Structure 1
Amino acid sequence: MGNNGGMESGDPAALPVPAAERPHRPGLTAVFWAVLFLGTAVANVLVKWMRALRDGEAFPAGATSIEEFSSAFASLGLVALLHAAARRWPLHADTWRRRIGLYVLGGIAWWLLHVSAMVLLRKLAFAVIGQHYTYGDWPAQWFYEFFKDVQTYSLLVVAVHAVAWFGRQRQGEAHLLAPPDDGPPVEPVERPQHFLVRKLGKEFLVATGDVEYAQAAGNYVNLRVRGHDYPLRITMAVLEQRLDPAVFLRPHRSWLIHRGQLRSIEPLDGGEALLHMADGAKVPCSRRQLPLLRQALAGS
């Protein structure tokens, strides 16, 4: 592989690479939701304490804290599932009509799972302090939570997709260059040398050769270019046909990589492998594709 080679298939540390960078920064997202839900729980406890203080009533600090934080922790677990669903089934102008029913069912599932997890956490916590917890009468108490949970779920769905939309606008969305209205195309449209990227109202070109790797994400394929992800509305199979097979390799059904960005191959048990990229990312390689990948690399 020339200067980009130096690759030891049995020694992934042959060339040191920086720490892996996750395109969606799940760590920051988890911190945000933890601060939001746990901060809300703290605020609710303080409000109830101040209300009891104002009315001259006793304040059961332990029971109140358990009730608020159990709801917060149950929501934290579910919001991770919501993020996964939003990435798998994103709502766009051309998809929301056929997917909105899925999110409606998701609201019912959120309610049932949230209440079940919340009650279980409360029973466990109260048992630890030597008390017994009773949630309330069915169905009144459950449907009381239903309206609150559906409202919370709806706001979270809007928030998650709004953040995803803003992220796409900030990072930019890529498009294949269309043939011009008049005259011959500047470059072959079927195998473009550039992608047209729209970012915060501006347009610029990204060279195909600058794409380090690509990952399928629902209706999109995320193109990784110099630390940024540019969603391209295309299937992975079509993108593979558009890119030069001498430059881009398909190690996995959901991934394409630029061979010049590959630094090492780490074999795994079962015949699969992890591909260590120049930016520190780890790309999976399937057992079926690994021999083909090595054959392609050997041919270079």
Structure 2
Amino acid sequence: MPPTPTPADPAATVAPGRATPTTATSAGRLPSAWDRYLPWRRSVEIGFWVANYAIGAVANSIVVLMDMSRAELGFAQWKPVVWESSSSLVALALVPAVVWFTRRVPLHLDTWRRSLPRHLLASLVWSMLHVGGMVALRKLVYALQGEHYDFSPWLWEFGYEYLKDIRSYASVVLLIEGYRLLLRRMQGEASLLQAPDDAPPLEPVDRPERFLVRKLGKEFLIAASDVEWLQASANYVNLHVREREYPLRTTMAAIEVQLDPTRFVRVHRSYIVNLDCIAQIEPLETGDARVVMRDGSAVPCSRRYRAALRPD
């Protein structure tokens, strides 16, 4: 569900409602919340999902065992553990797929009507994979115990499982989108710098020299020349600056014409790079190339745009 000033540590701050920037220096800058969180991000993300499904499997197993005891059902106690742990294990394995899909089809307030049908279809695919995986695991464990696991009639049982799975899928999507919203708030969202109501624009509107970033109730100015590369992401274009990314609500076509063409070059339908920030270009056998940025990031370059990287 991207670290001196940085995009999150911009070169200048702006008091809300004012157009005059106050220069900020990196000397003595205290680490931001994002700086402190970044080294732990991957561990927190993985740990959250592992703990979430592990706790769920244990809790659900206990509940089923208690229900079986009350109803005096003659099931071996290991069976509910297998049922719940197999379901949680497969659901955990599917989390990366949901993360990938929500990047391609984000579920935002302004796009949910267009995205919802695709997510409904995705929930069906998710459920089919979930049910197929957990049934396979149960059959394997049952076979090792010398028993047979029966999941029939398939159509009826799948319908029952899908009614539960669609709620589980929705919960995963909402958690992922909520987490991304929190990350965007920590890093900041970018916008084109607008002219104040009572003064002329700071620069031509059609080619801004700075972006305004709002982060945790504060506003910062980022110089356009500090943007190292840009990446399209659904309804946003992410501005990458010193290992941070700031989502700007626009399209690649719209932002491309607003950037300085002597500095910024389109290298892929989803990527634009700052020529001053390129470390090296690695040609590939396919005719495409890999652009390695100074921060170590690798940006794809399609053959269609390779000519733009050749010096005149």
Shared fold, TM over 0.5: yes
Q: What amino acid maps onto 1:84 in structure 2? A: W
Matches within 5 A, 1:60-99: 60=76, 62-99=78-115
| Contiguous gaps of at least 5 residues in structure 1 | 1-21
Q: What amino acid maps onto 2:176 in structure 1? A: V
Alignment: residue pair count: 273
| Contiguous gaps of at least 5 residues in structure 2 | 1-37
CA 1:31/1:260 → structure 2, altered by over 3 Å: closer, same or farther? farther
Of 177, 184, 190, the match for 1:174: 190
TM-superposed CA distance for 1:79, in Å, is: 2.3
Of 220, 234, 255, the match for 1:218: 234
RCO higher in 1 or 2 (8 Å CA, sep ≥ 6)?
1
Of 214, 235, 249, the match for 2:251: 235
TM-superposed CA distance for 1:224, in Å, is: 0.9
TM-score normalized with structure 2 length: 0.77
CA deviations on 1:229-263 (whole Å, 9 max, x unpaired) are 11001111221111111111222111111122211
Q: What amino acid maps onto 2:241 in structure 1? A: V
TM-superposed CA distance for 1:192, in Å, is: 0.4
CA 1:57/1:144 → structure 2, altered by over 3 Å: closer, same or farther? closer
Contact 1:49 1:59 in 2 (8 A): no
TM-superposed CA distance for 1:47, in Å, is: 5.3
Contact 2:209 2:224 in 1 (8 A): yes
- The more displaced of 96-105 and 280-289 is 96-105
Of 26, 29, 33, the match for 2:45: 29
CA 1:133/1:227 → structure 2, altered by over 3 Å: closer, same or farther? same
What is the DSSP-based 3-state SS (H/G/I as helix, E as strand, rest coil) of the residue aligned with 1:134? coil
RMSD over aligned Cα atoms: 2.8
Q: What amino acid maps onto 1:163 in structure 2? A: Y
CA 1:117/1:246 → structure 2, altered by over 3 Å: closer, same or farther? same
What is the DSSP-based 3-state SS (H/G/I as helix, E as strand, rest coil) of the residue aligned with 1:188? coil
TM-superposed CA distance for 1:56, in Å, is: 9.3
CA 1:257/1:26 → structure 2, altered by over 3 Å: closer, same or farther? farther
TM-superposed CA distance for 1:183, in Å, is: 4.0
Residue 14 of structure 1: aligned partner: none
Residue 286 of structure 2: aligned partner: 270
- Residue identity over aligned pairs, in percent, reads 45
Q: What amino acid maps onto 2:191 in structure 1? A: H
Distance 1:56 1:63 in 2: 15
Of 274, 281, 288, the match for 2:297: 281
Question: Does 2:275 correspond to 1:259?
Answer: yes
Distance 1:284 1:27 in 2: 27
TM-superposed CA distance for 1:165, in Å, is: 1.3
